[in-house]
């Protein structure tokens, strides 16, 4: 029987660390770090996420502002709003909540965000820095996965890590971060052949697919570490991950639950990125940032 990797508890500890760093920034600069979240439309799940992010900011001593724009907002108007936030000196982080309405090309919006304020880590400059293994702002969910591995003191170097899902926001950056830490990384996706056998070879398995409980217990290597990024509703409308949790727990050494695993880490890492962005923009010495 494996252990539950309690993301909620680990995220609380990270949030406390971030709050101390935010207070340090406020003392030095005479203003708190600032995050602006832009929500287009009224998608109920997105509204909840945005509200949670604003609340988390407040608790960490970060100034969080939410801009809610109508679903009919044009791409041009959204980009103009982003440009305006780029110009505001007290704004350290800009986040455009996904999904955006279908008439807006998300990539063009990400391209418009000042890379120094790109707390989601989706700007091509930050993606490129991650690819090259250089310092930049890293997407929050994969960064949260790395922090979970660290909190559980899991050695990454030399391990076989399988990442299922290759999106720009989770799968690809997760694979890059694991590679940076010297894992041997396999990226899997919808065209991958014999996925169960591939997963069974993983010492570290990251599931970022978006299919309820697709990964079964008999896909998992005994003693593996399983990080479940997926957030799905099953047939009974219950929130579940991409991994069959109870089955996985029978086989793996560690499994993250859904909810309460990777999700809370994503928000904590967003706060971390906001303080990091504020610190760097202010030209404060990186060595004095206690994150």
CB of 135 to ligand NDP, least distance (A): 23
Hunting for tokens 């930050």 — which residue is that? 126
Find out whether 83 and 58 touch, Cβ atoms under 8 Å: no
The active-site residue, picked from 6, 114, 118, 120, is 120
Q: In which element (H, E) is residue 161 found? A: strand 160-164
CB of 59 to ligand NDP, least distance (A): 18
Q: Which residues pair with 215 in a beta bridge?
A: 243
Region 142-161 residues binding ligand NDP, contact defined as CB under 6 A: none
Is residue 15 near ligand NDP by the rule CB under 6 A?
Answer: no
Cα–Cα distance, 239 to 241 (Å, whole number): 7
Largest CA distance in the chain: 56
Cα–Cα distance, 229 to 145 (Å, whole number): 8
CB atoms within 10 A of CB 44: 7
Angle of CA points 208, 209, 212, to nearest 5°: 110
Is residue 185 near ligand NDP by the rule CB under 6 A?
Answer: no
Is residue 165 near ligand NDP by the rule CB under 6 A?
Answer: yes
Is residue 273 near ligand NDP by the rule CB under 6 A?
Answer: no
Give the contact letters, 227-256, x = binds to ligand NDP (CB under 6 A), - = no: --xxxx------------------------
Is residue 178 near ligand NDP by the rule CB under 6 A?
Answer: no
Q: Tell me if residue 53 is catalytic.
A: yes
Angle of CA points 121, 264, 137, to nearest 5°: 15
Q: Tell me if residue 218 is catalytic.
A: no
Q: Give whichever of 25 and 219 is closer to ligand NDP, judged by the CB atom.
A: 219
Judged by CB under 6 A, the residue of 149, 169, 175, 227 near ligand NDP is: 169
Judged by CB under 6 A, the residue of 123, 166, 221, 276 near ligand NDP is: 166
Tokens linked to 233: 């509703």
CB atoms within 10 A of CB 189: 13
CB of 230 to ligand NDP, least distance (A): 4
Find out whether 68 and 39 touch, Cβ atoms under 8 Å: yes
Q: Tell me if residue 118 is catalytic.
A: no
Q: What SS3 state is found at 143? A: helix
Region 124-143 residues binding ligand NDP, contact defined as CB under 6 A: 141
Q: Give whichever of 16 and 45 is closer to ligand NDP, judged by the CB atom.
A: 45
Is residue 97 near ligand NDP by the rule CB under 6 A?
Answer: no
Cα–Cα distance, 66 to 51 (Å, whole number): 8
Q: Give whichever of 32 and 230 is closer to ligand NDP, judged by the CB atom.
A: 230
Is residue 9 near ligand NDP by the rule CB under 6 A?
Answer: no
Cα–Cα distance, 14 to 8 (Å, whole number): 10
Judged by CB under 6 A, the residue of 189, 233, 238, 290 near ligand NDP is: 189
Hunting for tokens 């494996």 — which residue is that? 2
How many residues are present in the chain? Answer: 291
C-beta nearest to ligand NDP: residue? 167
Which residues are marked as active site?
A: 53, 97, 120
Q: Report the interface residues with ligand NDP, using CB under 6 A.
A: 141, 164-167, 169-171, 188-192, 195, 208-211, 229-232, 262-263, 266
């Amino acid at each position: 029987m494996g252990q539950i990797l309690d993301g909620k508890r680990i995220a609380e500890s990270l949030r406390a660390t971030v709050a101390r760093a935010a207070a340090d920034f406020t003392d030095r600069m005479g203003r708190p770090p600032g995050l602006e979240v832009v929500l287009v439309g009224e998608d109920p799940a997105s509204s909840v996420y945005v509200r949670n992010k604003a609340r988390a900011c407040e608790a960490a001593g970060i100034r969080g502002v939410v801009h809610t724009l109508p679903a009919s907002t044009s791409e041009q108007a959204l980009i103009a709003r982003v440009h305006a936030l780029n110009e505001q000196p007290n704004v350290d982080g800009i986040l455009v909540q996904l999904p955006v309405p279908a008439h807006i090309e998300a990539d063009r919006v990400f391209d418009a965000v000042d890379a120094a304020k790109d707390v989601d880590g989706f700007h091509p400059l930050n993606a490129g820095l991650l690819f090259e293994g250089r310092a930049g702002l890293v997407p929050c969910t994969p960064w949260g996965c790395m922090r979970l591995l660290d909190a559980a003191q899991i050695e990454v170097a030399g391990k076989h890590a399988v990442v299922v899902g290759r999106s720009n926001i989770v799968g690809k950056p997760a694979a890059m971060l694991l590679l940076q830490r010297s894992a041997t990384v396999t990226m899997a996706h919808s065209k991958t052949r014999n996925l169960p056998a591939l997963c069974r070879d993983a010492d570290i398995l990251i599931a970022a697919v978006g299919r309820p409980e697709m990964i079964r217990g008999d896909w998992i290597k005994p003693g593996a570490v399983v990080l479940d990024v997926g957030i799905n509703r099953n047939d009974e409308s219950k929130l579940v991950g991409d991994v069959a949790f109870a089955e996985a727990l029978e086989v793996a050494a560690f499994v993250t639950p859904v909810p309460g695993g990777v999700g809370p880490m994503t928000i904590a890492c967003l706060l971390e990125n906001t303080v990091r962005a504020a610190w760097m923009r202010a030209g404060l010495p990186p060595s004095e940032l206690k994150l």
